[in-house]
Structure 1
């Protein structure tokens, strides 16, 4: 395997990682903004108030997008990684 194939596969793998992580990171960002706004409006500075809603949002979004994540990773491995292993 030459360097071009290696770096192209690495680039595709990193892109798959970014695409897979977007739903979870978006949920964490949205939950953080909502909780931060709530804390700023009410002057409540409790640490668990920021942690628990973010964790709950991440778990819910992870559960909802698990099929998409699995399908994306499986298609990447079947179309890119396995042919490289089998071919060479």
Structure 2
């Protein structure tokens, strides 16, 4: 295995990791901004008010996008990693 192949595999793996985590991170960012705005407008400074809805929304998005994440990861392994290991 030469360096270019290794760096290309690493680049693809990082790209897949970003694509898999982007939906959950986007929901956490949007939920945090909305809840922070709500807290600033109402002067409510409760820590659980930011934590619980964010975690709930992230779990919901994870559950909805789980098939996409599983498909992307298995396609990467079956298309890139397994042939590389089998081919030597």
TM tier relative to shorter chain: over 0.9
Describe the superposition over 1:44-64 as per-residue Cα deviations: whole angstroms up to 9, x where unpaired: 011111100100010000000
Distance across 2 between alignment mates of 1:82 and 1:10: 15
Partner of 2:62: 62
- In structure 1, how many angstroms separate the alpha carbons of the residues matched to 2:24 and 2:56? 11
Deviation, structure 1 residue 5? 0.5
Structure 2 counterpart of 1:49: 49
Query: What is the aligned partner in structure 2 of residue 23 from structure 1?
Result: 23
Size of the aligned set, in residue pairs, is 88
For 1:24 and 1:66, locate their aligned partners in 2 and report how far apart those are by CA, in whole Å: 11
- Cα root mean square deviation, aligned: 0.5
Q: Unpaired segments of 5 or more residues in structure 1? A: none
After TM superposition, the runs of 4+ consecutive aligned structure 1 residues lying more than 4 A away are none
